[in-house]
Amino acid sequence: MNNQQQKRTLAVETLLVHAGNVRHNVDSTALAIYPSTSYMADSPEQLDEIMAGTTEGFSYSRHANPTVEGLTQAMAQLEGAGTVIATASGMAAIDAALFAASLAPGDTILLSRDLYGASLNLAGKVWGQFGVKSFMEDFTNLEQLQATLEKLRPKVLLFEVLSNPLLKVVDVSAVIAMAHQVNCQVIVDSTFTTPLMIRPLALGADMVIHSATKYLGGHGDAMGGIVAAHERYKEALQQYIKLRGGILGPFEAWLIHRGLQTLAVRFERQCENAWQLASKLDKSGLLKTVYHPFLPNHPTFATAKRYLPSHLGGAVVTLELFGGRKAAYTFLKSLRVVRSATTIGDVYTLCLYPVLASHRNQSEAERLEMGITEGTLRIAVGLEHPDDLFVDLIQAIEKAAQAN
């Protein structure tokens, strides 16, 4: 009997939606992508248990998705976390962490002064609308921080281990201990440091966030965020994804999980490339300042040596040209291998001009107070050969000097 003669038991419309929708019980080596938005339980009783959270399983992808769970389980092990959620972006992860901290009107968030600009705005503008106050402090000045903590008694403290773009290293354990003394919860943004450089939960932090868009994904093709937290935040974080709904999609989760599998080799090479560039550029005498945590003239050199693994000083180098904006523009236009783009963590080396991008909302006086001048440029080092990067940077620096 050929296909024409075969009698259909169901109408073509029914077949079109159901045919081929087979469920395989296979053991694939790679994480599978499940784009399904909903899942069938074996029985109404089982569905009831899944919905109640008494049985593990899936019902609806905003609540839980098997591919996303592959990523969150990996991150829980990497960060030593009791609970992990994956969000649509790093910003959503910070928002989720602030939500899980149970902030109420009148509460205070204390932020490190050189935090990512959008994080400062999220706290100040978005949470500010709900009556939450936010203040900034220099987290590398422990004496001043102690006094501010005692005065403000904040409910939450949020900082990055490596500051952006000047790469100051915070004394994480000391800050956590000081915060806990005044009953303040600690959220660490470990985007620049990855779980390879530091594991803040093991040092006592309450929550860790990552922009997975950066090193975790690593290829500049997926946006995502991670909150890794102590078990006590599980309910609040689940509520955030179920009710606010800023979840990570399965395709992005798959890409970020695949990125994680090569994170160690990528990040170690990127850190090595960054260190080679930093030390050679520092010796070149062609720059006003070169910032890298392991350069002995860096203001937080001693803390960096204490906290960071000796081969992982981060994959970012920041340069200060002798000239101002004109020199910086010439530098950016002269780059041939390095790409001018705003992010970090990709396989390509990327250069960001803070005055135009990350710090464009700060006044010049505010930037100068942070140490960012019109000649400051951030290089997020990729996987190219470091000699090609050095040659490219030197020729751009020389052209910038002529434009000055």
CA 274 → CA 50, 57, 89, 105, distances in Å?
A: 48, 44, 26, 43
Range 139-168 burial, b when 16+ CB lie within 10 A, else e: bbeeeebbebbeebebbbbbbbbbbbbbbb
Choice between 89 and 303, CB closer to ligand PLP:
89
3-state secondary structure 163-175: CCCCCCECCHHHH
User: For residue 339, how far is the Cα from the chain centroid?
Assistant: 20
CB 65 within 8 A of CB 250: yes
Choice between 185 and 213, CB closer to ligand PLP:
213
CB of residue 259 to ligand PLP, shortest distance in Å: 13
Choice between 154 and 225, CB closer to ligand PLP:
225
Strand order, beta sheet including 156-160: 83-87, 225-229, 207-211, 185-189, 156-160, 108-112, 133-137
CB of residue 45 to ligand PLP, shortest distance in Å: 40
Lookup result for tokens 């520092």: 282
CB of residue 171 to ligand PLP, shortest distance in Å: 18
Choice between 354 and 386, CB closer to ligand PLP:
354
Taking the C-alpha atoms of residue 134 and residue 128, their distance in angstroms, rounded to an integer, is 7
Taking the C-alpha atoms of residue 176 and residue 186, their distance in angstroms, rounded to an integer, is 6
Taking the C-alpha atoms of residue 163 and residue 148, their distance in angstroms, rounded to an integer, is 19
CB of residue 193 to ligand PLP, shortest distance in Å: 10
Q: What amino acid positions are annotated as catalytic residues?
A: 62, 116, 189, 214
CB of residue 81 to ligand PLP, shortest distance in Å: 18
Taking the C-alpha atoms of residue 391 and residue 373, their distance in angstroms, rounded to an integer, is 24
Choice between 279 and 342, CB closer to ligand PLP:
342
3-state secondary structure 184-207: CEEEEECCCCHHHHCCHHHHCCCE
Taking the C-alpha atoms of residue 248 and residue 225, their distance in angstroms, rounded to an integer, is 8
Choice between 96 and 149, CB closer to ligand PLP:
96
Taking the C-alpha atoms of residue 217 and residue 263, their distance in angstroms, rounded to an integer, is 8
Taking the C-alpha atoms of residue 210 and residue 190, their distance in angstroms, rounded to an integer, is 6
CA dihedral 270, 273, 274, 278 (to 10 degrees): 180
DSSP 8-state assignment for residue 231: G
Q: Number of C-alpha atoms within 13 angstroms, CB side, residue 200? A: 32
**What residue number has its CB nearest to ligand PLP?**
90
Contacts with ligand PLP by CB under 6 A lie at 89-91, 116, 119, 160, 189, 191-192, 211, 213, 223, 225
Number of H helices, E strands in the chain: 16, 12
CB of residue 286 to ligand PLP, shortest distance in Å: 28
CB of residue 237 to ligand PLP, shortest distance in Å: 17
Choice between 154 and 165, CB closer to ligand PLP:
165
CB of residue 403 to ligand PLP, shortest distance in Å: 29
Choice between 67 and 211, CB closer to ligand PLP:
211
Taking the C-alpha atoms of residue 29 and residue 14, their distance in angstroms, rounded to an integer, is 33
